[in-house]
């Protein structure tokens, strides 16, 4: 008796997709999901070992996405792309009055200059019909205390997605931003580690949305995979909250 062939859903088959922040968290989980769904991958991050640990047989690009010379040099040798997930980012807490200017500039550099440079230099490498997903944040949709510079930078990321959707539409290239609520990655771990009461802080993070839990890397990766595939072909210029409904009830 022959067994039924295993079903494989491969909506990213044949697509060359670049992922920044691919050495950990959302970017790592997304890269692995894209591979399972058939994509050929370029993994970007500052730590080569972390990129290799994500997928040893992908193409690894150890690079700071905010270093223009490095991004331009990579773009000059990069083969044509069908998509990008720009997930690299960093969070430093603080209020407007309490944030040193150097930290403000670091937040703009890590969260906004990076995706801007990637779009500026790698946009010409995108094939017609391509798709780009920027990772913003739901705290760039709704103001919360103590993440001022990060929130402002991520709000810029949301507008960058809309501007790129307009500029790239003539080439049938789509661009969307996703705005996650708290996901339990090392970014949230670092925040909890600095908290006076991490247990209470974690419970508070989970309680602000109607579904009363943190999100998972896999849930964010699945949304990104949908936006990179042709099944979302009429979605562009959108900022999509993925936050257990927090944005809806604020």
Ligand X SMILES: NC(=O)c1ccc[n+]([C@@H]2O[C@H](COP(=O)([O-])OP(=O)(O)OC[C@H]3O[C@@H](n4cnc5c(N)ncnc54)[C@H](OP(=O)(O)O)[C@@H]3O)[C@@H](O)[C@H]2O)c1
- Catalytic residue ranges: 150
Residue 118 CA to residue 74 CA, distance in Å, equals 10
Binding part of the chain for ligand X, among 5-13, 22-30, 96-104, 168-176 by CB under 6 A, reads 22-30
Report which secondary-structure segment, H or E, holds 17. strand 16-20
Residue 137 CA to residue 240 CA, distance in Å, equals 9
Q: Is 83 in the site for ligand X (CB under 6 A)?
A: no
Identify the residue among 186, 204, 212, 213 touching ligand X (CB under 6 A). 186
Contacts of 3 (CB under 8 A, 6+ apart): none
Residue 221 CA to residue 123 CA, distance in Å, equals 22
Q: Is 89 in the site for ligand X (CB under 6 A)?
A: yes
Q: Is 45 in the site for ligand X (CB under 6 A)?
A: yes
**Surface-to-core class of residue 142, CB atoms within 10 Å of its CB (0-12 exposed, 13-18 middle, 19+ buried):** middle
Contacts with ligand X by CB under 6 A: the residue count is 30
Residue 120 CA to residue 36 CA, distance in Å, equals 29
DSSP string of 60-125? EEE--TT-HHHHHHHHHHPPPEEEEEE-------B-TTTS-HHHHHHHHIIIIIHHHHHHHHHGGG
Our CB check for ligand X shows the closer of 1 and 199 to be: 199
Q: Is 152 in the site for ligand X (CB under 6 A)?
A: no
Q: Is 88 in the site for ligand X (CB under 6 A)?
A: yes
Our CB check for ligand X shows the closer of 142 and 171 to be: 142
Our CB check for ligand X shows the closer of 46 and 127 to be: 46
Our CB check for ligand X shows the closer of 23 and 123 to be: 23
For the CB of residue 226, give the shortest distance to ligand X in the complex, in Å: 17
What is the x/- site pattern for ligand X, positions 189-228, by CB under 6 A? ----------------------------------------
Binding part of the chain for ligand X, among 86-94, 97-105, 159-167, 227-235 by CB under 6 A, reads 86-94
């Amino acid at each position: 008796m022959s067994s039924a062939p295993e079903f494989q859903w491969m909506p990213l088959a044949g697509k060359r997709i670049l992922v920044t922040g691919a050495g950990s968290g959302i970017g790592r989980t997304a890269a692995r999901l894209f591979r399972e769904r058939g994509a050929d991958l370029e993994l970007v991050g500052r730590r080569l070992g972390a990129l290799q640990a994500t997928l040893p047989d992908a193409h690894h690009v150890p690079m700071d996405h905010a270093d223009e010379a490095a991004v331009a040099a990579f773009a000059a040798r990069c083969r044509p792309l069908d998509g990008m997930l720009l997930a690299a980012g960093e969070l430093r807490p603080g209020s407007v009055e309490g944030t040193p200017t150097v930290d403000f500039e670091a937040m703009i550099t890590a969260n906004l200059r990076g995706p801007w440079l990637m779009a500026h230099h790698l946009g010409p490498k995108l094939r017609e019909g391509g798709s780009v997903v920027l990772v913003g944040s739901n705290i760039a949709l709704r103001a919360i205390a103590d993440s001022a510079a990060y929130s402002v930078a991520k709000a810029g990321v949301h507008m960058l997605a809309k501007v790129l959707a307009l500029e790239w539409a003539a080439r049938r290239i789509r661009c969307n931003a996703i705005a996650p609520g708290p996901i339990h990655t090392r970014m949230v771990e670092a925040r909890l580690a600095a908290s006076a009461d991490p247990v209470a802080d974690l419970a508070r993070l989970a309680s602000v949305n109607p579904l009363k839990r943190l999100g998972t890397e896999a849930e964010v990766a699945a949304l990104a995979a949908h936006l990179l595939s042709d099944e979302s072909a009429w979605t562009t210029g959108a900022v999509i909250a993925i936050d257990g409904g927090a944005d809806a009830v604020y």
